[in-house]
Structure 1
Amino acid sequence: MSGRAALRVGDQVRLDERLHTVVGLSGTLVRLADEGGRASLVLLPHLLAVEGFEFLGQRDGSPVVAPFALLDTVPPLEAEKATAWEQHLLELESGRQSGIGAGAGPRPEYDPALHTLEERIAAKATELRALGWTVSVRTVERMRTRYRDQGVWGLVDHRKTRLSSPTGRADERVVAAVAAVLADQLNESTGTRGRVRRRVEALLAEQHGAGVVPMPTKTTFYRLVEAVSVGTHAFGSAASRRSQARRPEGMFTPSAACRPGELVQVDTTPLDVLVILEDGVSGRPELTIAVDVATRTICAAVLRPAGTKAVDASLLLAKMLVPEPLRPGWPEALALSATLIPHARLLDIDVRLEQAAAKPVIVPETIGIDHGKVFVSDAFIAACRSLGVSVQPSRPATPTDKAIVERTFSSINTLFCQHVSGYTGSNTDRRGAGVEAVWTLAELDDLLQEWIVACWQQRPHDGLRSPFLPGRSMSPNDAYALLVARTGYVPLPLSGLDYLELLPAVWRSVNDYGIRIDHRTYNCPELAPLRRRPSGVAAKGGLWEVHYDPYDLSQVWVRNARTGEWITVPWTHRHLVSTPFADFTWRRARDLLAMRGQDDTNQAAVAAAVDQLLTRAETGPDRRIAARTRAALEPARSVPALPHALPQAPALEDTEDEATVPEQTSNVIPFGVFDAFTDGSRL
């Protein structure tokens, strides 16, 4: 019936911001004449595709193709009625009934050869009235026009397709007040709808005067509040409400990367598992991970007590750059050689991969961070800069900017944490009765590292799919094997100097007694040229740069600003402590002395208290402190000693009788005093 899409001689079109008239058609050629009489010849495909073309012969801008899918949104009876109208109108136009064979002729009263259009319309109106329809000739004409313009959709009673307002017939002033009150309580504790009603009444009285705007009944008001607050968690979780409000207003664009290391996201979160910390107390540790966006590989994971430091983030970066060793007790199925990763070819480049676990080494190009003080610290930024890694901060309070690492935390919680003894649940509502810590931090870290290699890296991930095999999901190791050819493998070993640069730094003066840090004194003969002399660094007032390891306070390293060499300076009371200790162990020992009324600044007394804590940790229930300290350090890998390295005292031997140590659920590897020059990177 409709010829709305046809281009005919005499039609007008707009092209190049000028009005043209179609004066001729020949095949795919269109001859146009503008208002000035100038003619032009244009190919029809070019005319229809050129920008700025407009066909002015179309009625009211209605679409050429009728919206057939909208019929699914109307009641079935209305759809059937519209279809019946269509059959009658088709017969009115052509004289043929739908469903009748091609050889059958039209009914006499609708034969176009015998009757005019007006006569056929009158006959159709008479027939429909005989069928019980309430129609007139004008009704048939109106339906015929609507069908020509809109197709079947024009025959639908649009009173049945009107969209209902979510707020109904409520006063717009009341609706605006409800929205304003809900927005104001974004950061408040969750309340009830009764509180909202009281605040809305007060707001309306303030804006329009008391009693000017009538309030709906309580039931109607509650329905209005429910409609306005949809999706805002206004009466649910306060955390979910704030998270929902922080979502960007624009379109959500997921992070994407085409090759390993192109974008790596890092973040820290408390782990939902209780572990045994120092002095036998239990608490939730913090997990810091780095996730490669292209392969979903967990490049590195560092488990620490609450209060992750900048050095932990720096060590995470260093851990990403070296292969994960196949630890004792792990099955051979977890070796890198047992995966699809081209092990033999990579082994020719990096011999360290021979005993590596099934987790690829990915050197990051860009690291996405949030605004946590750990990642915006000078130590982490300087470490990234020295390794040639660019840092990309996310927008404040916008976790969607690093959605992949956030989702990985959720996966670790459901795939690992909930199966571990001491699982607390994500909040107090999900916590069971009598949840107790069973694992030490070292034991839990060993379990986590094995789970990453055995489960996460080899488990198919629904977000990893090849465009050539879209129906098959891949594991992170499979994705790396597929994409490694795009970026190649560039080994980046770290030396002892690299490790020292990653450590946090303080600035101190070098006195006759040595260097003082947190009531600890460090001294050695090699400091003689530096004593009572300025470093020459004017920005720091002539102080000397001192680097320390917060998980091994038995020694520090001083950079000679004039020569650039490092001086290893031991703690003067190191001989009183049989095991390396962390800063939290030192603070705990000082707290114990203070509670006893003793001088907590006396280094010898604090050293003795530290040794007592570590001894009890090895022989009784308090053995957890030593396990926690040991968890802070990985087994050291040897690197060649530097020419200016200073000889270090050998580590004290552990003379404890193994028979007095209670049976442990997992092995804790002992170690001696760490030396950055002789041991290199502990990673």
Structure 2
Amino acid sequence: MSHARPGVLRIGDRVRLAGTRHTVTGLAGTLVHLADENGRASAISLQDLLLRADVEPGPAPAVPRLPAARFHGLPSKTVEEAAWWEPHIIEILTGLPPDAAPHARPGAQYDPATQTLAEREAAKAAELNDAGHTGVSASTIRRKRLRYQAQGIAGLVDGRADRARPPVGHADPRVVDALQRILASEETVQGPSRTVEFFRWRVEQFLNSEYGPGMVPVPSRSTFYRLFRRLSAGQHATGSARTRRSLAGRPEGPFGQVNPVRPGELMQIDSTPLDVLVRLDNGRPGRVDLTGVIDVATRTVTAAVLRPTTRSVDASLLLARTVTPELMRPGWADALRMSRSVLPFEHLHGLDERLVHAAARPVIVPEAMVCDHGMVFISDNFRSSCRWLGIDFQPGHLGTPTDKPHIERMIETVGTQFLQYVSGYIGSSVERRGRDVATQPLWSLPELQDLLDEWIVAAWQNRPHDGLRDPLAPGRKFTPNEKYATLVQAAGYVPVALSGEDYIELLPAKWRAINAYGVKINHRVYDDAQLNGLRRQPSGVVGRKNLWEIHADPYDVTRIWVRNHHEGGWITLFWKHLSTSPAPFGEMHWNSAISELQSQGHPNPSETEIATAVSHLLQRAHQGPSNTAPEMKPRQRKRRRPAVFGRSEAPKTPARATRSESSTASTGNEHSTKQPTADQRAEDESLAKVVPLGIFDARKEAERWW
């Protein structure tokens, strides 16, 4: 053989013997097994083969390939450049490009049988320079060829594009440490939001106190801003303070998850102010609190109440509402009945006949209740209610709203899917707030409560929730009512609704004496014939000075319940003025009526006057939104001219009598009975109209909604 041969003969090498191409199929000592192109096998000694045959290079050894995932993080131009170099390097190694025909022969300048690697590399450099790729030298091609043989196409990728850079660049580690410690400090997490320039000043102060004045230079403004963006990513250091505190309160590591398998196994309760104005019972606009309970297993909102200010008694009453059916209201669609829903009505109505008239909201008895550390929920009143119902009371960690995420999300959904459609919606923050919201027609508190109850039954309980998915078919989502019906059958859950006596037990207790006229609570007298025989008698409870235990609903003052300590059970007493004001109302209405009467010059209003005022107040509160102009704002009252103040004091004698006296004086007839005309009466009435101006009270003004 007159040309160079490979130093090693391997299986798969091709040899040309007597004009026929053979492939080496096996090696046995010095004997070489061959197979021609037609598949005929033969054998020849290695010495004869090397003397008589021309050995062709076999297939190039496999080289490492770049994983496909590596290309996803690289610029497209870098990937294209590596793919462009690969066929050129393969041609240098094998003599043929990868897309050559099966029987193609290498070119003279790239034939491995006649040209060395150095010669082939020089030829490729000359070819590329002639094609316009100037600056490509043989040494450059040699470096790329060596990297390709060692790493595959990964060796052809520009290392500058795949180079891992430190997240903070080349910043001074002391500056990085100072900024990280300041970002993680309580000053930043719990404090107000500040600008990047403030943090640059704080870093400078920290470095001066830690290492000495001027010992560690602070980066320039542009460099510090870039460093700050990298280190504060996702922390909202200069953004929303509420979001920053929420992110800081997240537990480290993977989030845990509790998967209850039956209704009531785990429930959550929370209270928060709503972003909506309502017309309170005093006629003025104000915000209200929403207190709600949600079942984690079914996402059922078992109860939700609106109150001007949430108290511990509200949370206790919420437990009572949770375990009692939601009855249908006048005006609700018949489709909202439980008997027409997907709930297992036939399975449940035998346990409680009240379900025949109930709305499609499940009755769920809580087993465990998760709440935060608000004073409403950690109060003795709420704890005792949980103990009486056998509920496991589980307060969450301090400052960790993620312990009760489902009720937090439920309250947020109420704002986005219900409240923003309500007249009087003010927005979730100051920058989202509209102008003159208080001038819109506002709903009264009872009316908004009725709308919320209807929305929960109609919308929430029938909306598919992303958290209620079938484990075996994740593509399907359940509604709370569907999930409840499924778990009732699967878990064998039998809810036992709260009885009437159990509901009374949850009401707040007071201790009073039974007098001859009945029982007096907050200047209201309650009486009934059942008290005969108990009037002015001791209860027998020595620890309470022989007073009687009274339970009252603070949001329904029409009746109270007296525990019969002698014979057991409860005695229902009705307010003696119930016929005057038959509608249920509570302490808030009563106190508002007292304030209104006192402002009208009645320092000691009688009970009858209060009952009449409450009745009129409720009529105004239940009229709902109207197109009439709302009550003048306190700010506008303060801007009235002093001339109006002179008219605020009405004369002791009616205006009509004054004009009559004037007429009498002109005619000289003291006993004239001449009647004024219709125009005179209208003028007299307009003159007699009194526009009072109240005395400015700074404390009351501070409590109003502006």
- Whether TM-score is above 0.5 comes out as yes
The one of 352, 373, 376 aligned to 1:374: 376
State the distance in 1 between where 2:248 and 2:104 align.
Answer: 67
State the distance in 2 between where 1:617 and 1:314 align.
Answer: 27
State the distance in 1 between where 2:128 and 2:622 align.
Answer: 94
Equivalent residues of 2:276, 2:287 under 8 A apart: yes
User: 2:457 corresponds to which residue?
Assistant: 453
Q: How does 1:94-173 map to 2 (within 5 A)?
A: 97-104=97-104, 114=113, 119-120=116-117, 123-124=120-121, 126-128=123-125, 130-132=127-129, 146-147=147-148, 150-173=151-174
User: 1:475 corresponds to which residue?
Assistant: 479
State the distance in 1 between where 2:493 and 2:250 align.
Answer: 37
The one of 362, 385, 395 aligned to 1:383: 385
614-623 or 385-394, larger mean C-alpha shift:
614-623
State the distance in 2 between where 1:447 and 1:576 align.
Answer: 28
Is 2:215 the counterpart of 1:218? no
State the distance in 2 between where 1:394 and 1:314 align.
Answer: 18
Q: How does 1:530-569 map to 2 (within 5 A)?
A: 530=538, 534-535=542-543, 547-553=551-557, 557=561, 565-566=568-569, 568=571
State the distance in 1 between where 2:397 and 2:552 align.
Answer: 32
Task: State the TM-score, normalized to the length of structure 2.
Answer: 0.66
User: 1:358 corresponds to which residue?
Assistant: 360
Equivalent residues of 1:320, 1:363 under 8 A apart: yes
Equivalent residue letter for 2:542: P
State the distance in 2 between where 1:185 and 1:543 align.
Answer: 55
410-419 or 82-91, larger mean C-alpha shift:
82-91
The one of 232, 237, 252 aligned to 2:235: 232
Deviation at 1:377, TM superposition (A): 2.9
Deviation at 1:484, TM superposition (A): 3.3
Deviation at 1:451, TM superposition (A): 1.4
Change (3 A) 1:277 1:144: same
Q: Deviations over 1:264-299 (max 9, x none)?
A: 222212222211223212211221222233332222
Deviation at 1:449, TM superposition (A): 1.3
Deviation at 1:121, TM superposition (A): 6.7
Change (3 A) 1:188 1:486: same
Equivalent residues of 2:507, 2:551 under 8 A apart: yes
User: 2:653 corresponds to which residue?
Assistant: none
Q: How does 1:548-627 map to 2 (within 5 A)?
A: 548-553=552-557, 557=561, 565-566=568-569, 568=571, 578=581, 581-588=585-592, 591=595, 605=605, 607-608=607-608, 610-618=610-618
User: 2:433 corresponds to which residue?
Assistant: 431
State the distance in 2 between where 1:550 and 1:463 align.
Answer: 37
Equivalent residues of 1:273, 1:417 under 8 A apart: yes
The one of 406, 421, 424 aligned to 1:422: 424
User: 1:316 corresponds to which residue?
Assistant: 318
User: 2:199 corresponds to which residue?
Assistant: 196
User: 1:526 corresponds to which residue?
Assistant: 534
User: 2:341 corresponds to which residue?
Assistant: 339
Unaligned 5+ residue runs, structure 2?
Answer: 1-63, 625-706
SS at match of 1:363: coil
Change (3 A) 1:321 1:195: same
Deviation at 1:607, TM superposition (A): 3.4
User: 1:175 corresponds to which residue?
Assistant: 176
State the distance in 2 between where 1:450 and 1:236 align.
Answer: 37
State the distance in 1 between where 2:272 and 2:350 align.
Answer: 38
Equivalent residue letter for 2:74: V
Deviation at 1:224, TM superposition (A): 3.5
Change (3 A) 1:205 1:242: same
Change (3 A) 1:357 1:591: closer
Task: State the TM-score, normalized to the length of structure 1.
Answer: 0.68
341-350 or 65-74, larger mean C-alpha shift:
341-350
SS at match of 1:291: strand
Is 2:300 the counterpart of 1:297? yes
Equivalent residues of 1:586, 1:606 under 8 A apart: no
Change (3 A) 1:342 1:439: same
Equivalent residues of 2:294, 2:300 under 8 A apart: yes
State the distance in 1 between where 2:126 and 2:368 align.
Answer: 75
State the distance in 2 between where 1:250 and 1:533 align.
Answer: 55
SS at match of 2:437: coil
Change (3 A) 1:553 1:430: same
Change (3 A) 1:267 1:227: same
User: 1:5 corresponds to which residue?
Assistant: none
Change (3 A) 1:495 1:621: closer
Change (3 A) 1:75 1:333: same
Change (3 A) 1:274 1:520: same
The one of 238, 248, 253 aligned to 1:250: 253
State the distance in 2 between where 1:70 and 1:541 align.
Answer: 84
State the distance in 2 between where 1:247 and 1:140 align.
Answer: 54
Deviation at 1:444, TM superposition (A): 0.9
Equivalent residue letter for 1:363: V
State the distance in 2 between where 1:410 and 1:220 align.
Answer: 40
Deviation at 1:517, TM superposition (A): 6.8
Equivalent residues of 1:616, 1:622 under 8 A apart: no
Equivalent residues of 1:576, 1:607 under 8 A apart: no
Count of matched residue positions in the alignment of Structure 1 and Structure 2: 548
Deviation at 1:498, TM superposition (A): 0.9
Deviation at 1:559, TM superposition (A): 5.3
Change (3 A) 1:575 1:88: closer
SS at match of 1:341: coil
SS at match of 2:243: helix
Q: How does 1:258-277 map to 2 (within 5 A)?
A: 258-277=261-280
Equivalent residue letter for 1:76: S
Identity of aligned residues (%): 44
Q: Deviations over 1:552-588 (max 9, x none)?
A: 4566556577x79356486998789745652334444
Equivalent residue letter for 2:414: I
Change (3 A) 1:153 1:68: farther
SS at match of 2:402: helix
Deviation at 1:597, TM superposition (A): 9.1
Change (3 A) 1:451 1:149: farther
State the distance in 2 between where 1:515 and 1:465 align.
Answer: 54
Deviation at 1:512, TM superposition (A): 8.4
Between Structure 1 and Structure 2, whose CA radius of gyration is higher? 2
User: 1:444 corresponds to which residue?
Assistant: 448
228-237 or 143-152, larger mean C-alpha shift:
143-152
Deviation at 1:503, TM superposition (A): 1.6
Equivalent residue letter for 2:266: L
State the distance in 2 between where 1:302 and 1:572 align.
Answer: 25
User: 2:208 corresponds to which residue?
Assistant: 205
State the distance in 1 between where 2:71 and 2:155 align.
Answer: 10
Unaligned 5+ residue runs, structure 1?
Answer: 1-63, 625-683
Q: Deviations over 1:407-455 (max 9, x none)?
A: 2212211211111111111123222222135211111111111112222
Equivalent residues of 2:369, 2:393 under 8 A apart: yes
State the distance in 2 between where 1:141 and 1:542 align.
Answer: 106
Change (3 A) 1:121 1:550: farther
State the distance in 2 between where 1:82 and 1:495 align.
Answer: 78
Is 2:472 the counterpart of 1:499? no
586-595 or 495-504, larger mean C-alpha shift:
586-595
State the distance in 2 between where 1:104 and 1:543 align.
Answer: 114
Q: Deviations over 1:31-81 (max 9, x none)?
A: xxxxxxxxxxxxxxxxxxxxxxxxxxxxxxxxx985421222223332233
State the distance in 2 between where 1:478 and 1:531 align.
Answer: 50
Change (3 A) 1:173 1:594: farther
Is 2:405 the counterpart of 1:408? no
